Amino acid sequence: MKENIYEKIKKNLLIIKEKIENARKKSSITGQDVTIVAVTKTATVEDIQIAYDLGIRHFGENRIEQAIEKIKKSPADVQWHMIGTIQRRKMPLILQHCKYIDSLDRLEIAETINKRVKKITTEKIPVLIQLNISEEETKHGFSLKEFQEVYEKLQIIETIHIRGLMTIAPIKADEKTLRYIFSTLRNIAETYKLKTLSMGMTDDYEIAIEEGATEIRLGRAIFG
């Protein structure tokens, strides 16, 4: 059974890497590196170890409580990303266990980070600002209209490092909509000279790469 799981994940990653290269070749964006963030929501500790053995170093979780056991049992050099909606009271756990916060969607979250970080480290916390470009009520993130004001406020918070932007496209969106959302995020990043673009998941990561994604968040594509 273990060998079967290994072979399945290995095959999945080979397919993903081939699709990444094909998407990069089709893209008008030249030279961007693409980092795979393996989403471990449904993955076991064994699955994570296999993906690690196959070269994956970045892993992401939506809920910190579900991540803690996986984090503790994972290799020490795994880089964990918090990719889900953040509850302020859980910030101590997130800061303790995750290197990256990829879903900064409210100013109060940044304020909470600022208060907590000062107590535990002098290092800045790398964050991605989450934008809700599709304006779906079920999605979190800042709107396009408020981004400039939000960005200026976040810039002066001394304990965070804004490394880029993140967005989530609507489920089953058509290609035109996906390209609009992803290209809009890229244009904002270019305007503000932000290098990291986390966009694209299992169903749309190829289009996201064509539009400039530098990080893709994949769960089912790897572990499914």
Q: Per-residue DSSP letters for 100-140?
A: EEEEE--HHHHHHHHHHHHHH-SSPEEEEEEE-TT--TTS-
Which residues have CB under 8 Å from 205's CB, separation 6+? 19, 20, 23, 213, 216, 218, 221
Q: Which pTM value belongs to this model?
A: 0.94
* Residue 118: alpha-carbon gap to chain centroid: 24
Among left, alpha and beta (phi > 0; psi -120 to 50; other), residue 72 is alpha
Among left, alpha and beta (phi > 0; psi -120 to 50; other), residue 37 is beta
The whole-angstrom separation of Cα 16 and Cα 10 is 10
For helices 107-120 and 144-155, give the axis angle rounded to 10 degrees: 20
Which residues have CB under 8 Å from 5's CB, separation 6+? 46, 47, 50
The per-residue pLDDT string of the chain (224 residues; one tens digit each, 9 = 90 and over) reads 455 999 999 999 999 999 999 999 988 886 789 999 999 999 999 999 999 999 999 999 999 998 999 999 999 999 999 999 999 999 999 999 999 999 999 999 999 999 888 777 778 999 999 999 988 777 889 999 999 999 999 999 999 999 999 999 998 899 999 999 999 999 999 999 999 999 999 999 999 999 999 999 999 999 99
pLDDT of residue 134: 85
The tokens describing 64, both together, are 């910190």
pLDDT of residue 138: 75
The whole-angstrom separation of Cα 177 and Cα 180 is 5
Quick one: which of 217, 214, 179 has its CA closest to 200?
A: 217
The whole-angstrom separation of Cα 39 and Cα 218 is 5
The CATH fold assigned to 2-223 is: TIM Barrel (3.20.20)
**Residue 69 burial (C-beta neighbours within 10 Å; 0-12, 13-18, 19+):** exposed
The tokens describing 209, both together, are 């790469």
Other Cβ atoms less than 10 A from the Cβ of 140: the count is: 16
pLDDT of residue 186: 96
**Residue 1 burial (C-beta neighbours within 10 Å; 0-12, 13-18, 19+):** exposed
pLDDT of residue 117: 86
Q: What residue segments make up the domains of the chain, in order of their start? A: 2-223
pLDDT of residue 136: 79
The tokens describing 28, both together, are 């008008």
* Residue 46: alpha-carbon gap to chain centroid: 22
